[in-house]
Structure 1
Amino acid sequence: MRFICFLLLLFCLLGCGYHFPGQSGTLPGGVEKIYIPLFINKTSEPLLENKLTSRVSEVFSRHSKISQVEKQETAEAILQGTIRSYSSRALSYNSDDDIGEYRATMVVDVVLKTEAEEPLWTGTVRWSEDYNSSSNKNAQNDMEQSAIDEMTVRMAEEILYKLLDDF
């Protein structure tokens, strides 16, 4: 009886069109060759554009149906991003009313467009990452940078998933 219920559940999931993110495998417009220039950083946080662009490039390079090209002229489309905001705010306080945890949040606008400036896809990605507080300023900065590193990885993956599936 359990086996039959399991099979029915499996058939329902398969029949409803459910699939894992990024499974469709193709970019909008059937694009395969993309150029990824350095993202624009409109925040006061330095080097975010370098970290995020690098992560996006890494994530896209792992996809078998997408080729990154080094020259814009050889690309079928250009993936441009603008880091619209970055903030780090207190999330929780301890019993001494000192900050115990922070939440870093980044918002990025992304557009995939043809060389003729025709947008194939536009979207916004937002991600937050929590990190602990420290009375040592160097340790505090290291924890924030680790949170930014994790956030850029997750955002790069989210950009790819949204492009492939347009969720």
Structure 2
Amino acid sequence: MSNMENSSRMEKGILDDESPNTVTPELGGTRHAPCAMRFAVFAMRYALCAMLLFALSACGYHFRPTGEPIGLALESLAVPLMTSTSSDPGFEAVFTRMVRDEFISHARVPLLPAEEAAFTLVGHIHTVWTDPQSYSFLEQTVRGNAVVYDETNRRRLRLRLDVSLVERSTGKVVWREEGMETRASYEVTADPLVDQHNKQVALERVARRLAQRIYMRTMERF
């Protein structure tokens, strides 16, 4: 190809595919510009991720394999028998055991007597009550008159308590929630023994849910 032809091609801005790094008039850069841009975007994203992780570490937060946030170490915990003013005697022992089991099985926190533990979890059960949830209707004839009776076939059980976590050495309240509440329903039958069993199962289900909430609320602070 003659020098005149080369000059003509350059004047018209025609690119030679065999000429690497030839300047593109429209783009004002080299053929490797798109690769450079992708590398710059990747580097920027990597830098942002690194900055975010550094910020979280600076705030005192780390992450366990299970994903719960932790900060200060929960070295030991006391969960004394919870008090109760409810009409279900003996339930406070069952509930206290469930709360202890949550910490033993998930966090493996040493449970010690209140005078030795670094933190104490204090709970007071206010009320355990039920109210009707659904009804069935039964029509009967009494002395020639049709009478409709309504019967409760399901009841809703509710439990309400106050709970707090206290640091023993300072008396500082780490967290406190008043009126923590949850509920569960159970079937009502004509057999009082079956009803009592169903109510007990619902009560244990409520206690398990509250124990899980207490555990998660506590671990949010550590």
TM > 0.5 between the two? yes
Asked if the contact 1:32–1:65 (Cα under 8 Å) also holds between the matched residues in 2, the reply is no
Q: Which runs of 5+ in 1 are unaligned?
A: 1-14
Counterpart residue identity of residue 68, structure 2: S
Q: 2:208 aligns with which of 149, 153, 156?
A: 153
In the alignment, which residue of structure 1 is the partner of 2:117?
Answer: 75
Q: CA deviation at 1:67?
A: 1.9
User: What SS is found at the alignment partner of 1:129?
Assistant: strand
Alignment of 1:1-167 (within 5 A): 23-26=67-70, 30-64=73-107, 66-69=109-112, 71-96=113-138, 97-115=150-168, 116-124=170-178, 125-165=180-220
Supply the distance in 2 between the matched residues of 1:36 and 1:25 (Cα, whole angstroms).
Answer: 22
Equivalent residue number for residue 7 of structure 1: none
Q: Distance in 2 between matches of 1:33 and 1:135?
A: 48
For 2:216 and 2:136, how far apart are their aligned partners in 1?
A: 37
For residues 86 and 176 of structure 2, the distance between their equivalents in structure 1, rounded to whole angstroms, comes to 20
Q: Give the counterpart letter for 1:104 in structure 2.
A: L
Distance 2:105 2:90 in 1: 23
What letter matches 1:58 in structure 2?
Answer: D
Q: Which of 1 and 2 has higher RCO (CA within 8 Å, sep 6+)?
A: 1
Please state whether the residue corresponding to 1:74 is helix, strand or coil. Answer: coil
- Count of residue pairs brought into register by the alignment: 146
Deviations 1:91-146 (A, max 9, x none): 11012210010000001211100224221111242110000001110010000001
Whose radius of gyration is greater, 1 or 2? 2
Letter in 1 for 2:217: K
Per the normalisation by structure 1, the TM-score is 0.79
Across the aligned residues of Structure 1 and Structure 2, the Cα RMSD in angstroms comes to 2.3
Q: Is the deviation greater in 139-148 or in 155-164? A: 155-164
Identity of aligned residues (%): 20
What's the TM-score, normalizing by structure 2? Answer: 0.60
